[in-house]
Every structure is written in structure tokens, then in C-alpha cells.
A and B are shown apart, each in its own frame.
Chain A
């Protein structure tokens, strides 16, 4: 049944029509290239902590509202103000977490395309609906206990649907998941490009056993990174060199050429980086680490 839900959503043209209106302003709001806006984007994406932030924050509404469901049930078994109050506190905690999750979610969604964008949109609509139901439940509390509990359980059901879609974004669509993982890193030096063909500050694509690599020459130094962006596998060889870093052309993640560290998000994982040398006129590369992440 859940798979059918996903199937119905992922190729739904209506979702695209809504997204075409909502996404461009969201992109503009979140994709700042410098200053505080840039720092904020790094925080919202989770770049600053090395893991996507949205899936961490969402534990607050999911956990809080699960608690509320438990307390509402207990309040029926053992009537009294205390369990009702505990349920209220849980709903309130969940609401605060939901707002924070929504901001990070919107930021993540602004960088999605295709099916992830459509599924993400419905995920957002469901979660906003659940949040609204919980807010209504808190407001209804004073007047009618029954309508309050009904609203809260309705919200929980919708939240679970939204959560399933969120899981689908991660586990099937691989949104927020490291796209530079599982790279088969070369352990011994192999030639990949004649040294004369690499021009200063012009990223160039090469292959190591079919694995895409991007090479950048800066003066005497030659840098080599895995060429598919950790964020969503964007082509780094089409990116731009900025100082001692390279910026992905798709959503603007920036990686250090020296070690592959993420300097700016939305990527949260580092880019695999290679050791280079020139031998017999050829650029040769090999892995720095002995093992893939």
C-alpha cells in the first residue's frame, strides 16, 4: 500500500506544477553565495556537523507526538490532569521541533529535482497538515477533550504517512545520502592523463579504471578528487576553481582541493581525494586512504 502511494506521487505532474511555483523563491532564499546566508545554509544542510540536519531534528516532533499518543491513551486509563498535561507538553515540544524541521526540510527540498522533488513536496504537505492538526488539538484542549484527542491522533496518522515518505527520500531516493561513497579507491599509482594536457585552474575529467576523477593544476601542485559530488553526484569537472577549492555546478557545494573537505554545503560528506605525482610525462594518482569511507 505504501509502495502504491509512492508510485502515485513520484510521477505526478500536478506536484511539478506546484513545485515550479514554490521552488524558485525557496532556492533564492536558501542559496546564498556569501556571508551570513551562506553560514545559515551550511547549518541548515548539516554541512557544519557532517550529517544532514533535517533527519536529526525530525526526531523531536516524531518523538514528542509519539509520547503525546501514549499519554492521551494513559489519560483514558487513568483520568486526571497530570497525563493530560504531559500530553500537552509533548505536543508543544513536537510543535517547536516541527517548525525547526520545516525550515531545514525546505532548505533541503529547494535543491531537489525529479522524483525526490515530488515526493519531498507531498512529504512536506503531509507534515504541515499534521503540524496544523496538533496546533488545533492544543487550541481545542480547553473546550473539548474528545475533539482534542481526535485531532491529535489524526495528526499522528498523517505524520506517519509523511514519515514514510521521508524514509523513502533517504532509503530509495538517496536524498541527503553521501553520493561519493563506495568509490573504489585506487591503491597504487596509475597514469590518468598526460601532464601537458592539464591547464592551470581548469578542471579536467580523467578516468581511473572507469572511475571519474577531476584533476586541477594550481602552479606546481596537481590535485585530484573523485569527480561525482558527494551531494547528488554533480559533475565536478564542470565546476569552477575558487582559490584552493572547487565548486560543484549543480547546487554550489565547495570542496577543498587539498583534502576534499566540504567547505560549503549542501553536501555533508567530504569528497574522496587522491595523491598525485607526475612520472614520465603522465599524471598518476592513487588513494590517500587505504579504504573507502
Chain B
């Protein structure tokens, strides 16, 4: 169930999501520190972290799109993938709005609200992404001799597979 965007046999999209997750997560840390830290630095730091996060998200999205269109998925997994994709596009849109609001005023209330709606949506969306892999098996390609307690998991599951 792998798409075409792979590197060394592993799907690229799940590798790259570390960047938007890292940057958007760091915004939270930076905002918290700005409560007592250098007011001339941390609020601005948050703004640039948001910008980097958006760039990272868009790069990850490119590989996500490739997988969306090339990875074979049963209907239920495809629905999960669609939800994951739409939520992520919403996340990017929210953070872009947050960037512009906070670029003018890094400590604007609206800016904070947008930032944390974005983060909450990201968590939900990440959940759907995990669901694709861990429940839907998308992105996985079982190693030929995967042994489970001495037996081949593939052989055991073969009769039960749809395709």
C-alpha cells in the first residue's frame, strides 16, 4: 500500500511531517517562554516559526498529494486520507492567516486564537494520518520474510487479503 513518493523503501511524507509538527509545536514553546522571556525576541520568534512551519507543511503536502493519488487504498482508508488532506489544508490556511495577523502585531489576541486553533486542528489531522498507517496500513510494504513468532505474517494473512 505504498505510493510513489518513497526514499530507501519508506514513504517520504511521514518523514517530512516532523518539520511542520516541530515548527508549530515550537510556536507553543516560544509563546509560553515569551510570558517572561525577552519581549523583543520571543514573540517575533513565534511569527517566524509559523512561517517556517507553513513552508515545511507545504513541502510535506507535495509528497502527501503524490501518495494520495498513487497509493492503493480501500475505500475506508481513502476517506480517512481525504479527511487528513482537507484538515491539513485548513491547518495551513489558518497558520497563513495567523502569520499575517501576527506579522503586524506578534502578540495580537486574534493571532494567538488563530495559532491555537491551527495547533488543535493539526493534532486532529495528525491523528487521521496515524490512522492511515497504523489501522489502514497505508505506506507499509511488508518485508518479504517478516516473521511473527517464527511464522510468516504474510502467509498467515494472505487468505484474508482483499487484493
A286 interface residue per 8 A CB criterion = no
Which residues of B have CB within 8 Å of A226? 160
Determine whether the beta carbon of A56 is less than 8 Å from that of B130.
yes
Q: Mark A171-199, 1 if CB is under 8 A from B, else 0.
A: 11110111101111000000000000000
Whole-angstrom distance from the CB of A63 to the nearest CB of chain B? 3
Q: List chain A positions with a Cβ less than 8 A from chain B.
A: 1-3, 51-52, 55-56, 59-60, 62-64, 66-67, 70, 82, 85-86, 89-90, 93, 113-116, 163-164, 167-168, 170-174, 176-179, 181-184, 209-212, 226, 228, 232-234, 250, 268-269, 291-293
A-B contact count (CB 8 A): 159
- B19 near A66 (CB under 8 angstroms)? yes
Cβ distance B48 to chain A, nearest Cβ, rounded Å: 9
Indicate which residue in B8, B33, B137 contacts A182 across the interface (CB closer than 8 Å).
B137
Q: Find chain A residues with CB under 8 A from B142 CB.
A: 172-174
- Bound CA span A228–B149, Å: 13
Query: Roughly how many angstroms separate A291 CA and B74 CA in the complex, as a whole number?
Result: 9
Min Cβ gap A27→B in Å is 14
Question: Counting CB contacts under 8 A, is B140 at the interface?
Answer: yes
A113-B148 in contact given A210-B159, A228-B156, A233-B156 (Cβ < 8 Å): yes
| Contact status of A60 and B153, CB under 8 A, knowing A3-B9, A182-B161, A184-B161 | no
Instruction: Tell me if B11 is interfacial: C-beta within 8 Å of chain A.
Output: yes
Q: Is the CB of B18 within 8 A of A170?
A: no
Do B150 and A114 touch across chains, with their CB atoms under 8 A apart? yes
CB distance from B45 to the nearest CB of A (A): 6
Give, as a whole number of angstroms, the nearest-CB distance from A247 to chain B.
16
CB A253 to nearest CB in B, in angstroms, measures 14
Q: How far is the CB of A171 from chain B (nearest CB, A)?
A: 5
B160 touches A182 (CB 8 A): yes
- Give the residues in chain B near A179, CB-CB below 8 Å: 148, 153, 157
Question: Are B159 and A2 in contact, CB atoms less than 8 angstroms apart?
Answer: no
Is B75 part of the contact surface with A, judged by Cβ < 8 Å?
Answer: yes
Asked if B133 and A170 sit within 8 Å, CB to CB, the answer is yes
Q: Name A171's contact: one of B130, B139, B150 (CB within 8 Å).
A: B139
Q: Which listed residue (A62, A163, A178, A182) contacts B162, Cβ 8 A?
A: A182
A182 to B33, CA, bound (A): 46
